[in-house]
Amino acid sequence: MSETTEALRDAEPRARIVATAERLFREIGFQKTTVADIARELRMSPANVYRFFGSKAEIHVAVAGHLMSEVEAAAQQIAFGPGSASERLRALVIGNEKMNAERYLADRKLHDMVEAALDEHWPAIDAHIDRIDGLIESIIAAGMVTGKFAKGDPGLAARLVHTACIRFCHPRLMVEYADRPEPTSAQMIEFCLAALRAGVAV
């Protein structure tokens, strides 16, 4: 069997395992969920689950990756969608905040997985930050071309905007600063837009 055919055949069960694991993580917590629990929900044997994932840890990483990939897909739609560079940057930061709040704040049990991911430095997080950086960069680069933003290094500008907005997308900070109403993400993005329009010698 070719690798492609095998990938296609495996796609559906993999996705179902990830979706079921995510639901159980939300319901009973990611520490308490066992591979046997996931298999039972799917009416398959644990051995069958292990055909797709080498360990429970691999399922964790796949669930985290799936949650972040949804955020990335929404950000990508905004980055390459209609609107001025400023409008898209606003929509991306505020959309990102909203999706992260839905994922990691509303659900205390899912937040435990995020804590583990952060504590253990799962590489998926770094990749996620890089992808969001890249999407912000593409918006800023477009704004620099049209003259909306001052000329400069769009990659560095993207990392500055993303870092300035970290309090609105980092799950831990969203919890820690929940009681501080200001600045809002809307205020922060206007602050960043002012800097991008003015340009900065860095």
Where along the sequence are the contacts to a second copy (CB under 8 A)?
A: 118, 121, 129, 156, 159-160, 163-164, 166-167, 170, 172-173, 176, 180, 182-183, 186-188, 190-195, 197-202
Q: How far is the CB of 115 from a second copy (least distance, A)?
A: 10
Contact of 140 with 157, CB cutoff 8 Å: yes
C-beta closer to a second copy: residue 73 or 156: 156
Q: How far is the CB of 193 from a second copy (least distance, A)?
A: 7
d(CA 82, CA 107): 32
Those residues whose C-beta lies under 8 Å from the C-beta of residue 157, and which sit 6 or more positions away, are 137, 140, 149, 196
d(CA 168, CA 178): 10
Q: How far is the CB of 19 from a second copy (least distance, A)?
A: 29
C-beta closer to a second copy: residue 50 or 191: 191
C-beta closer to a second copy: residue 12 or 119: 119
CA distances to 42, 124, 140 from 136, in Å: 39, 18, 6
Q: How far is the CB of 188 from a second copy (least distance, A)?
A: 6
Closest CA to 146 of 87, 188, 99: 87
Closest CA to 53 of 69, 71, 65: 65
Other residues' Cβ atoms within 10 Å of the Cβ of residue 170: 18
C-beta closer to a second copy: residue 53 or 149: 149
Q: How far is the CB of 198 from a second copy (least distance, A)?
A: 4
C-beta closer to a second copy: residue 28 or 118: 118
